[in-house]
Amino acid sequence: MMKTLKYYTLAAVMIITGSSCKKFLETSPDLRTQLNSKEKVAQLLVSAYPKAEYLSFTENSSDNAEDKGPRTDYSPVSTELSWTSAYFWRDFQNGVDVSGSTDDYWNRTYLAIASANTALQYIDKHPGETDLLPYKGEALMARAYAHFMLVSLYAKVYKPGQANDSPGVPFVTDPEIEVSPQYQRGTVAEVYAKIERDLTEGLPLINNSVYKTAQKYHFSLNSANAFAARFYLFKGDFDKVIEHSGKVLLDNTQAKGMLRPWNSTYLPYIAAALRTAFTQSSQNSNLLMGEANSVWGRNFYIRYGLGKVISNNILLGPNITGGNYSYKPTPYVEPYYDSCKFLELFFESKIGSGFGQPYIMVPLLTSDELIMNRAEAYASKSQYDLALQDINTFLSTRITNYNSSTHGITLARISAYYGITDPKAGLIKTILDLKRAEFISEGLRWFDIIRHDLTVKHNVLDENGASSTIELKPDDPRRVFQLPIPATKAGLTLNPR
């Protein structure tokens, strides 16, 4: 598997280094690869997934980050300024060469779209070659996923039942070979319609058999349906969330086997073992994996991020089950807390040279998110028993010595714990809190924050240890990340501030 992954990585690097990815939408990448076979299309699609991560800025912008206070021994890392900017909701510009920055994610995601479009262009020119159809499905799904991530991060969040006529992001459908083309952002509603078009056309074409040894690094039937469920949750189409989730999570027993085994297999793991296991493709919970040039594996060495207060309040303190989470971050010398989820890998530019780039593997779609998305869909449709069933299946793999009679969630328990009498509101509050704890350090909390208009509060400590609070409220324009400045040269208007 690792040999296969390394080969795919090299293929992606050759495509990236042969293009101008630093100033996408100012100078477009030239991806006119000489495609002349199914095998080359498959190789090209390796680069149709963003080789960048959003965790650095979504996690530190969320309420899963804290100020650990001024010290002199924080480790200086290349993205620290970006992480600090995210914590204070400041735009971080000129971050094209900074992994984990908003600029880097924007640029590399559009580069991935260009790869998908190059593959689609070749496939469309060979309509009689039916063995290309699975790759067409993958390219469409990859293009849909990339645009969905962009519109979710760089435009106002989609609001079901509303006009959604605020500026979206450019939906690119052709390989970009012209310098400084004039793009249009369109509206959020228009971008969503195009994403759904790609999704509904692409998903039926997915064929698991074309990637027998690297299925977790490409859209499979499971990951494609998981993405569809996430998309429709944002869109507010709860029937489709349930439909697509049900194609992956067939019944309670099977679903439980696809969740992270926190209170069984993972329970005795030391930090190093957990880091190794968490992002392995062999984990049933990991449905789609992506690689990213990143130092996120070192994020616990910085001032702003996961710390003692968040750990104690969210993971180590009281929770609605009355039990204890089996997953606990590892405290290093205070105030360092490591989520132990990401193993930093290293890609040598020349074998044996010692020079190269750090990267991590990122779980882009998981069964754990999927079952909780379905639980929210059930709750939103007032199917409370089914929502509780999914929540309790989820908890049965999270709580140490789980016992359904002791730790199981009921509507009465929710009402007593939160003081919320409305069952729908109580269930959704429960789901969001459980997801917050589950996905610490994975950047997903941000997407629930914007979907549900949650206010984010960050503490700020001065030199004397005195604490103040800053807030990011639902109507704050900084909840939409800024476009790279070079994008204005392609005719795009920056997000308001």
For the chain, the domains span 2-252+286-302+335-365+439-490
**At residue 85, does pLDDT exceed 50?**
yes
Does 99 or 195 have the greater pLDDT score?
195
Does 197 or 335 have the greater pLDDT score?
197
pLDDT of amino acid 350: 67
Gap between the Cα atoms of 178 and 69, Å rounded: 48
Q: 105, 50 in Cβ contact below 8 A?
A: yes
Round the CA-based radius of gyration of the chain to a whole number and report it.
22
Q: Pick the range with the lowest mean pLDDT from 237-241, 299-303, 456-460.
A: 299-303
pLDDT of amino acid 27: 40
pLDDT of amino acid 179: 35
| Interval 49-64 mean pLDDT | 97
Is residue 75 very low, low, confident or very high in pLDDT (cuts 50, 70, 90)? low
Gap between the Cα atoms of 15 and 180, Å rounded: 20
How many CA atoms lie less than 13 Å away from 272 in the CB half-sphere? 0
Q: Which CATH architecture has domain 2-252+286-302+335-365+439-490?
A: Alpha Horseshoe (1.25)
Distance of CA 50 to the CA centre of its chain: 11
**At residue 23, does pLDDT exceed 70?**
no
Is residue 250 very low, low, confident or very high in pLDDT (cuts 50, 70, 90)? very high
**At residue 19, does pLDDT exceed 60?**
no
The residue whose two tokens read 């104690």 is: 312
Distance of CA 168 to the CA centre of its chain: 19
Q: 235, 158 in Cβ contact below 8 A?
A: yes
Largest CA distance in the chain: 72
Gap between the Cα atoms of 487 and 23, Å rounded: 8
**At residue 21, does pLDDT exceed 70?**
no
Residue/partner pairs of 399-404 with CB below 8 Å, 24 or more apart: 399/263, 399/321, 399/323, 399/324, 399/325, 399/326, 400/263, 400/267, 400/323, 400/324, 400/325, 400/326, 401/263, 401/323, 402/263, 402/323
| Interval 200-211 mean pLDDT | 96
Asked whether the bond before 423 is cis by omega within 30 degrees of 0, the reply is: no
How many CA atoms lie less than 13 Å away from 292 in the CB half-sphere? 30
At 461-484, the pLDDT tens digits run 999 989 999 999 999 999 999 999
The residue whose two tokens read 């800024």 is: 482
Is residue 88 very low, low, confident or very high in pLDDT (cuts 50, 70, 90)? very high
Gap between the Cα atoms of 112 and 97, Å rounded: 17
| Interval 142-159 mean pLDDT | 98
Q: 441, 55 in Cβ contact below 8 A?
A: yes
Q: Exposed (0-12), middle (13-18) or buried (19+): which is 240, by Cβ within 10 Å? A: middle
Please give the model's pTM, rounded to 2 decimal places. 0.91
Please name the residues in contact with 236: beta carbons below 8 A apart, sequence gap of 6 or more: 160, 161, 380
**At residue 177, does pLDDT exceed 60?**
no
- Terminal Cα distance for the chain, rounded: 46
pLDDT of amino acid 93: 76
Express as a percent the part of the chain with pLDDT over 90. Answer: 77
Q: 428, 376 in Cβ contact below 8 A?
A: yes
What average pLDDT does the structure give for the chain? 89
Sign of the alpha-carbon torsion through 445, 105, 139, 258:
negative
| Interval 326-352 mean pLDDT | 82
**At residue 191, does pLDDT exceed 50?**
yes
Closest CA to 26 of 495, 494, 497, 492: 492
